[in-house]
């Protein structure tokens, strides 16, 4: 058994001041039971809790740490900034540098604005799309998460298209009445809705590879189909690549699938572990934001020098030859090993992977949308999660999250993880 006494104490202490002990809900072990571990430090692909246990980390701060913890060039870049000042509220060249690095990797982005989180990025992108088109309706997809923006915290009724119903108390019906949600990976429904309402739709926002209901890749032709619909009705197509940008490939999903969105939202990897978000796309649309245009959006700490420096150091390293080839090789090794571990133990699972993000669904059937994802055996996932934790492997404390690998996970780390999975799978109740 793991000794987690200090974490337990830290947890009860935190509960006195912080709701649920956490500053973001998914950090609590709500979906798997038990109390969250408190972290002391991270080095490379390892995470150390305050009781001195070490884990191989597949959460990586929920995606940003593609270079692992305390990457040398990120640390060096941050030290440089600390000699000069942490924030100025005036432009720095660092912002232009990061903007250029993003543009080089994603040609669909002609202009870009930095913000402080993925949520801010999607919120701003939607306002911009509405301001640009002078239309109100937003189309989103069931099970796609775009941050905790009021108008995007919406779920649809089962399968059918419905008018938005808020997922969270505190979100007035009025805020979501212009949000239409529909099932992921179903082009016909989008076509049908747009036949009637297309001229009133401001934007379609989508996780081009879904990563917040587990990992669900788009079906062949799906994104291309959305592009065609958007073109037909003058709708702004937004790819939310907060998770997938610089993760599934250097150019994100749009490079893999060769589909060009009008706007892209980014976050996570582009901050290399510091708080950054960004949205960018066609210059014609981006120039509608203030101060060039009338759509207002601002931020006291936006483009913060520490965050920019960390992002620059990360993206510079990701430009090097062979980085994504190695990530791909190791990701494939892990995904195949995890699949084998389930098969050998006779546990039904469905495996998905795009680049260095992957998911083991404890599901009898294929998982292609939110409906099928929800059929997973989440109790079995919880047992698997705790079994893996005991063996020193830190997975996301929820079935509906991705596992990420970094450039510093070695073949040995991966093989140790597969070996642990083989043992744990065999202990799961059939």
Q: Is 147 in the site for ligand PLP (CB under 6 A)?
A: yes
Strand, helix or coil for residue 367: coil
Residues 256-275 that bind ligand PLP (CB under 6 A): 267
Query: Three-class SS of residue 14?
Result: helix
Residue with smaller CB distance to ligand PLP, 142 or 413: 142
Give min distance, CB of 271 to ligand PLP, in A.
Answer: 9
Residue 211 CB, nearest approach to ligand PLP (Å) = 6
Could you tell me which stretch among 38-46, 103-111, 140-148, 188-196 binds ligand PLP (CB under 6 A)?
140-148
* Among positions 21, 53, 108, 119, the unique one binding ligand PLP when judged by CB under 6 A: 119
Residue with tokens 């990025």: 121
Q: Which is nearer to ligand PLP, 273 or 387 (CB)?
A: 273
Q: Which of 71, 95, 142, 240 binds ligand PLP (CB under 6 A)?
A: 240
Binding test (CB under 6 A) with ligand PLP, winner from 113, 146, 247, 250: 146
Are 36 and 11 in contact, with CB atoms under 8 Å apart?
yes
Q: Does residue number 117 form part of the binding site for ligand PLP (CB under 6 A)?
A: yes
Distance CA 189, CA 161 (A): 8
Q: Residues near 334 by Cβ (< 8 Å), separated by ≥ 6?
A: 358, 403, 405, 409, 414, 417, 418
Catalytic residue among 49, 57, 71, 240: 240
CB-CB neighbours of 176 under 10 Å: 23
Q: Which of 171, 237, 243, 388 binds ligand PLP (CB under 6 A)?
A: 243
Q: Give 229-280 as a DSSP string.
A: HHHHHTPEEEEE-TTTBTTTBTTHHHHHHT---SEEEE-GGGGTTS--EEEE
| Rounded Cα gap, residues 397 and 419, in angstroms | 20
Nearest distance from residue 98's CB to ligand PLP, in Å? 16
* Cβ contact 139:313 at 8 Å: no
Residue among 152, 85, 160, 79 at smallest CA distance from 120: 152
Q: CB-wise, 117 or 124, nearer to ligand PLP? A: 117
Q: Among the candidate windows 39-47, 180-188, 240-248, 386-394, which touches ligand PLP by CB under 6 A?
A: 240-248
Does 302 contact ligand PLP by CB under 6 A?
A: no
Q: Whole-number minimum distance, CB 357 to ligand PLP, in Å?
A: 10
CB 360 within 8 A of CB 345: no
* Alpha-carbon distance values, 85 to 78, 82, 92, 116, 306 (Å): 11, 6, 11, 18, 9
Active-site residue, 268 included: yes
122 binds ligand PLP (CB under 6 A): yes
Catalytic residue among 268, 279, 381, 384: 268
Of 99 and 278, the one with the shorter C-beta distance to ligand PLP is 278
The encoded tokens of residue 114 equal 């930095």
Q: Would you say 133 or 212 has its CB closer to ligand PLP? A: 212
Active site residue 145: yes
Pick 198 or 355: Cβ nearer ligand PLP: 355
Measure the CA angle with vertex 124, ends 355 and 288; round to 5°: 115
387 is a contact residue toward ligand PLP (CB under 6 A): no
Of 240 and 262, CB closest to ligand PLP? 240
Total count of residues recorded for the chain: 430
Tokens for 218?
A: 């788009």
Residue 79 known to be catalytic: no
Cβ-based neighbours of 76, under 8 Å, separated by 6 or more: 313
Specify the residue, 106 or 420, whose C-beta has the smaller distance to ligand PLP. Answer: 106
Query: Nearest-CB residue to ligand PLP?
Result: 118
Least distance from ligand PLP to the Cβ atom of residue 363, Å: 21
Answer for the pair 105, 246: CB distance below 8 angstroms, yes or no. Answer: yes
44 binds ligand PLP (CB under 6 A): no
| The one segment of 34-42, 116-124, 248-256, 335-343 that binds ligand PLP by CB under 6 A | 116-124
Question: Residue 247, interface with ligand PLP (CB under 6 A)?
Answer: no
d(CA 309, CA 303): 10
Residue 145 engages ligand PLP in binding (rule: CB under 6 A): yes
160-219 residues near ligand PLP, rule: CB under 6 A: 207, 211-212
Tell me: does residue 140 bind ligand PLP (CB under 6 A): no
Could you give the 3-state DSSP secondary structure of residue 95?
A: helix
Q: Residues in contact with ligand PLP, total (CB under 6 A)?
A: 15
Contact 196, 332 (CB under 8 A): no
| Active-site residue list | 145, 240, 268
The footprint of ligand PLP (CB under 6 A) covers: 117-119, 122, 145-147, 207, 211-212, 240, 242-243, 267, 277
């Amino acid at each position: 058994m793991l000794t987690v006494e200090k974490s337990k104490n830290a947890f009860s202490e935190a509960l006195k001041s912080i709701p649920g002990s956490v500053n973001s809900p998914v950090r609590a072990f709500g979906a798997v039971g038990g109390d969250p571990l408190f972290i002391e430090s991270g080095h490379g692909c390892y995470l150390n809790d305050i009781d001195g246990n070490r884990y191989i980390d597949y959460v990586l701060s929920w995606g940003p740490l593609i270079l692992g913890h305390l990457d040398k060039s990120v640390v060096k870049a941050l030290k440089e900034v600390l000699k000069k000042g942490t924030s100025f509220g005036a432009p720095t060249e660092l912002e232009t540098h990061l903007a250029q690095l993003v543009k080089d990797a994603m040609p669909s982005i002609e202009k870009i604005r930095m913000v402080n989180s993925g949520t801010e990025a999607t919120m701003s992108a939607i306002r911009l799309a509405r301001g640009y088109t002078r239309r109100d309706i937003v189309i989103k997809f069931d099970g796609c998460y775009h941050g905790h923006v009021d108008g995007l915290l919406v779920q649809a009724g089962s399968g059918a298209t419905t008018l938005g119903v808020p997922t969270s108390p505190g979100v007035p019906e009025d805020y979501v009445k212009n949000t239409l949600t529909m099932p992921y990976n179903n082009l016909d429904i989008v076509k049908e809705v747009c036949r009637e309402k297309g001229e009133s739709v401001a934007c379609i926002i989508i996780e081009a590879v879904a990563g917040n209901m587990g990992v669900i890749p788009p079906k062949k032709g799906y994104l291309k189909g959305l592009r065609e619909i958007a073109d037909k009705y003058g709708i702004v197509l937004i790819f939310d690549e907060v998770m997938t940008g610089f993760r599934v490939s250097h150019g994100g999903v749009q490079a893999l699938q060769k589909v060009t969105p009008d706007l892209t939202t980014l976050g996570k990897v582009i901050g290399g572990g510091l708080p950054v978000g960004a949205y960018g796309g066609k210059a014609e649309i981006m120039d509608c934001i203030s101060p060039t245009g009338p759509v207002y959006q601002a931020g006291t700490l936006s483009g913060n020098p520490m965050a920019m420096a960390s992002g620059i150091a990360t993206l510079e390293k990701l430009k090097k030859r062979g980085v994504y080839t190695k990530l791909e090789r190791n990701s494939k090794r892990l995904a195949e090993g995890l699949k084998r571990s389930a098969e050998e133990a006779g546990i039904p699972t469905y495996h998905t992977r795009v680049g260095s993000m992957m998911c083991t669904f404890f599901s009898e059937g294929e998982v292609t949308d939110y409906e099928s994802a929800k059929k997973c055996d989440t109790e079995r996932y919880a047992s698997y999660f705790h079994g893996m934790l005991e063996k020193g492997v830190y997975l996301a404390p929820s079935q509906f999250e991705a596992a990420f690998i970094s450039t510093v996970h070695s073949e040995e780390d991966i093989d140790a993880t597969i070996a642990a999975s083989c043992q744990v799978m065999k202990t799961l109740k059939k």
